[in-house]
Amino acid sequence: MSPDPRWAAWQPFIETSVQIQTLLDEDLRRRHGLALADYQVLLLLSHAPQHRLRMGEIADAMVFSSSRLSYQIDKLGRAGLVRRERADADRRGNFACLTDVGMTALSAAADDHLALVQTLFVEKLSPDDGRALLAILSRLSGGGGAQ
């Protein structure tokens, strides 16, 4: 009896994900002084209306605890890449806001980062692979916890 290919895919999935993230992180740090998590926060903010998001929205998107996100935002704040703003309307939280310096840093890193993503990921997939992988990952991300 052959092994279940879903189980056979599990370890390579984990190893490949970690390997790609590690290579992207190392490259961003070496070339631009940004961690991959820094880049992702800046990217999220760059796509948000008025370049700002509630801290909880960022934590959810990054799958970060509130304390880990607070550390991340404080680190980016010390570098002048983001700033915190109090939520005026309801005073129930803070926003993280992308600064002009943060947008510049993101823009400076983007071409190198995307070129490496192209090399490590995009070039290794056919368009059909990409469609299939997107469908699989979408299904997995909507899967929630244990059944």
- Residue 81 contacts by C-beta under 8 Å, 6 or more apart in sequence? 38, 42, 98, 99, 101, 102, 105
* Domain membership flag for residue 7: no
* Domain membership flag for residue 1: no
pLDDT tens for the 147 residues of the chain, in order: 568 999 999 999 999 999 999 999 999 999 999 999 999 999 999 999 999 999 999 999 999 998 999 999 999 999 999 999 987 766 667 899 999 999 999 999 999 999 999 999 999 999 999 999 999 999 998 754 444
Domain that holds residue 91: 16-141
The token duo for 91 is 């005073």
Looking at the 3D structure of the chain, how many domains does it have? 1
* Domain membership flag for residue 11: no
Question: Computed from CA positions of residues 5, 6, 11, 14, in that sequence, does the dihedral angle turn out positive or negative?
Answer: positive
- Residue 39 contacts by C-beta under 8 Å, 6 or more apart in sequence? 28, 106, 109, 113
* Domain membership flag for residue 8: no
* Domain membership flag for residue 134: yes
* Domain membership flag for residue 2: no
Q: Which of 108, 111, 105, 103 has the alpha carbon at shortest distance from 51?
A: 103
* Domain membership flag for residue 3: no
Q: Which domain CATH number covers 67? A: 1.10.10.10
